[in-house]
Amino acid sequence: MVHTQKEYYYNEHDENQVKKILKTKKKKKLKKRIKILFVLIVLTIIGAYFLSDYSKVQSIKVVGNEELKEKTIIENISINKNTIYLFIDRKGVAQEVKDLGMVKRANVSVDFLGHVTIEIEEAEKVAYCEIGKKIYLIDELGGVVETNDKNIIESLQSCPRILKFKDLKFLKTFAKEYIQIPELIKSQTSDIVYDPNELDETRLKFVMDNGKILYLRTEDMVEQLKKFDYEAFMTAYSDRCIFSFEGKHIYMKKCK
């Protein structure tokens, strides 16, 4: 059997179509290569930027602080000059600042050049205590903060003193309650002394500026003092010097 070889013939139109298809494929490959090259260039630029100092925090400034030192704040937050400023968790850093104590509000802002500003509002000091030769202050938020800053310690002299507290945990429990008592009572208090007896392990003695004494239990003092009309009692019972809060009753003793 004789095999005949088939021959294919392309007309001019067919030949142009093949060239057109090949040319289109080349264009697509070229475009793909250009896109890949472009992506690589962009990634290289981005990588170079993040590795450079331009992406890092350029400066950290604290404003609004009067007693808290800027150095103390900066040393106790999670950002520094090696931090990429685009990735800063502003709310997280603000919370870190508030967790230091003595800070009522904190706001963190970052400009497009990497300069960080921490704006704070300091909390007021409402009392202080010495335990084991360490000074602790209580702020208006109920925070208990240890301090060895001479200027802060000096400024505490106008606040009520807390005496004979031996347990920091108990002091923190007291602080959360103390900030809730009426402002008038706090402003008239000179000293607060831990003064337990056999029947009451949490008894406190409030020594007032006028020399009067209030005996209160730590866990009840907020509820009792909110109902207590201090000015009215001081006027109506001016001859009484001791006011002991026991349950729903107030027992009074005359001045000696």
Helix (H, G, I), strand (E, B) or coil at 64: coil
Among 211, 139, 131, CA closest to 164: 131
The pTM of this model reads: 0.75
pLDDT in tens, 95-120: 999 999 899 999 999 999 999 999 99
pLDDT in tens, 40-97: 888 887 788 777 888 899 999 999 998 889 999 999 999 999 999 999 999 999 999 9
Helix (H, G, I), strand (E, B) or coil at 14: helix
Contacts 24+ apart (CB under 8 A), 88-91: 88/57, 88/116
CA–CA distance, 218 with 130 (Å, rounded to integer): 18
Q: Which residue has the tokens 């850093």?
A: 93
Report, as an integer, the average pLDDT of 122-137. Answer: 94
Helix (H, G, I), strand (E, B) or coil at 110: strand
Domains of the chain in sequence order: 56-122 (3.10.20.310), 125-254 (3.40.50.10960)
Q: Quote the pLDDT of residue 28.
A: 80
Q: In what order do the strands lie in the sheet with 59-63?
A: 59-63, 115-122, 103-110
Q: Which residue has the tokens 């001479």?
A: 150
